[in-house]
Chain A
Amino acid sequence: MTTTNEGQGPLLEVRDLHVEFHTRDGIARVLNGVSFSVDVGETLAVLGESGSGKSVTAQTIMGILDMPPGKITKGEIFFRGKDMLKMSEEERRGIRASGIAMIFQDALSALNPVFTVGFQIAEQLRLRRGMNKKDALKRAVELLDLVKIPNAAGRVKQYPHEFSGGMRQRAMIAMSLALDPEVLIADEPTTALDVTVQAQIMDLLAELRRERNMGMILITHDLGVVADVADRIAVMYAGRIVEHADVFSLYRQPCHPYTAALLESMPRLDLKGQELATIKGLPPNLLRPPSGCPFHPRCRMAVDQCVAEVPQLITLGMDRLSRCFRAEEMITNG
């Protein structure tokens, strides 16, 4: 799988990505220099609250961002060492699904209601792999079986609305795996599901990732979902990555006050009867972002410097990055 990695770099690398939305009220800078990379067999979790730019990042990588109003003002996205933003539409289409595939949050609306699930999976195989109808449908059954849909042979003939929520998400996963992608982007794959099904889907994704040695970008706002599955976590806030670390270090010792606040606001079983900690205030309005560090109005560690200057990403040792002036302080104070 790793044989033709032209540029010798990581499988997928996003470098300094800037995206703006031109709206009637002005320009919203949705992504302000996002950089990360995913390698073969690795899971990167992108964490952040609504409006932090997680989904826009995913859509920009896939090339399905609505433009206009969206606009990529700066940055590069390397897949196998080639910048996808410089490719022709034709070239990019070739990468979609066979190079990078994506799973959507709401599988019901991501499946076409007028065709059977089997037809939709088979269509890709027919078009892109030149399979005939019968073989493609057989492969669709295998794929549904792979994502553990019981009675797959009978299920291929059903319509999406005849599937339950969890089954639909499985079908969606099967569809995105049809062309054996090397990178799978999962945009909040479990948000629309209930908790028990969430766990099953996450297990399935982790298992598939392991078996197929795929790179995976898991976009979520749920810290609980991430812990078991991800290798590394990138925390996003207001279109920037504010902290980047491996899972263990991040949970043990967050190096950005936002990450710390997120961890504190998780419900915990051992703290019964106490009020749940929350992060005060609202995410910043991207049309009029606050000066300096965009988190400073909500930050309990904010100092004068935070209001005046935009903090840069600072390296804190092995693959650990933080965009906070007081990151080192946070580590030393434990």
Chain B
Amino acid sequence: MSEPTIASQVEVRHVEAIVGESPSAEAPQQKPDKADKPRSLWSDAWYDLRRRPLFIVASALIALVLLMVLVPQLFTSADPYYADLARSKQLPSANAWFGYDVQGHDMFSRTIYASRASVIVGLLATLFTVLVGGAAGMISGFYGGLLDAVMSRIADVFFGLPFILGGIIILTTFRSDSPTLAEAMLVLVGTIAMLSWPVAMRITRSAAITVKQQDYVKAARALGASDGRIIVRHMLPNCLAPMMVYATIALGAFIGAEATLSYLGIGLPPGTISWGVMINDAKDYIRVAPHMLIFPAAFLTTTVLAFVMLGDVVRQALDPKLR
């Protein structure tokens, strides 16, 4: 008895909706889009970030460093490779803001140009670490069981190596005596990634385990999604936040690691310009020419600090509980 009436009501409502839709629905649909944009996790985080002074400071510093990497000519017209022994170890002056090093290179120019090698090594090492560790963590977190146990134990072995000791051992073993810049960079990036991927894996794995237990993963499976699709569509986007935070902080740390290993003489070869190599050059003249140490060290520290600060701020913005 009641069925036809309900059905006809539905029918009427439908007709109204269809009739009303074509001319008018389009217009208001466009409008609130601008004013009342749908808010995703990332747009929320971006909104939150824009009004944090720490984020503005950190990103301004990073932008400056990136500018130095891309167009160092913007900051200095001096050739970083031009050496004049006559001005060896001269202190900063109006001519050369950061003074000259032992060989008589312009320190300001060199410090600016050095950002390139340091940041490239940092970026590549971060990329490899996150890719390898992220993939390993995702697979072992998602599939679990024996696979997870085996992969986690392998990661533990690498995790157990102290960074500096491991770095020294790997680099002294695999680095040729007089490597080209590309070779040296590749080996250095590989070493850093090899020693750091377990951290990225642990972070991703624990994120993956949390996400895997969410109902939407079950729901996706109940709707007939394959493993690959679940990983790409559901696991990955929801594991991205902790990985991003780690990557930002790691980038800073890896720039520092490049400097450390180059200082020890096993990173980038002596001819190249990087902050680590410059600090290494300065080590014998700290008392007579402290400016040789102070300027590259200051740039290094500031860059690392900027990335760590950014990572911290991003973590706070992405974690709703800290808001």
Contact = CB atoms under 8 A, between A and B. Distances in A.
A224 interface: no
Interface in B207-222: 214-216, 218-222
A112 B231 CA distance: 12
Task: Classify chain A's interface size.
Answer: 35 or more
B224 A94 contact: yes
Contact of B218 (A110, A115, A127, A176): A110
Contact of B222 (A62, A68, A109): A62
Nearest to B240: A114
A106 B215 contact: yes
Nearest to A181: B223
A126 to B, nearest CB: 11
A97 B6 contact: no
A153 B21 contact: yes
B233 A113 contact: no
A104 B38 contact: no
Contact of B223 (A153, A176, A211): A176
Contacts of A158: 38
A116 interface: yes
A101 B222 contact: yes
Given A101-B222, A145-B17, A114 B41 contact: yes
A37 interface: no
Given A112-B216, A112-B233, A159 B38 contact: yes
A212 to B, nearest CB: 12
A113 B41 contact: yes
B87 interface: no
A123 B233 contact: yes
Interface string A78-122: 000000000000000111111001101010011111111000000
Contacts of B221: 62-64, 96
B177 interface: no
Contacts of A110: 215-216, 218-219
Interface residues of B, number: 33
Contact of B38 (A93, A101, A157): A157
A316 B181 CA distance: 87
Interface in A160-203: 162, 172, 175-176, 179
Given A64-B221, A96-B224, A153 B29 contact: yes
Given A111-B216, A157-B33, A207-B6, A116 B38 contact: yes
A116 B224 CA distance: 19
B28 interface: yes
A106 B218 CA distance: 12
Interface string B17-28: 100010001001
B237 interface: yes
14 contacts: A62-B222, A93-B226, A96-B221, A96-B223, A98-B224, A101-B222, A109-B216, A112-B220, A124-B224, A127-B229, A145-B14, A157-B33, A157-B38, A162-B38
Interface of A: 59, 62-64, 68, 93-98, 101-102, 104, 106, 109-116, 123-124, 127-128, 145, 153-154, 157-159, 162, 172, 175-176, 179, 207, 210-211
Interface of B: 3, 6-7, 14, 17, 21, 25, 28-29, 32-33, 38-41, 145, 214-216, 218-226, 229, 233-234, 237-238
Enumerate the 6 nearest inter-chain pairs by beta-carbon distance, A residue then B residue, closest first. A96-B224, A110-B215, A109-B215, A97-B223, A114-B237, A110-B219
Given A115-B237, A159-B38, 16 more contacts: A68-B145, A97-B222, A97-B224, A109-B214, A109-B216, A110-B215, A110-B219, A113-B41, A113-B216, A127-B229, A145-B14, A154-B32, A158-B38, A175-B223, A176-B223, A179-B224
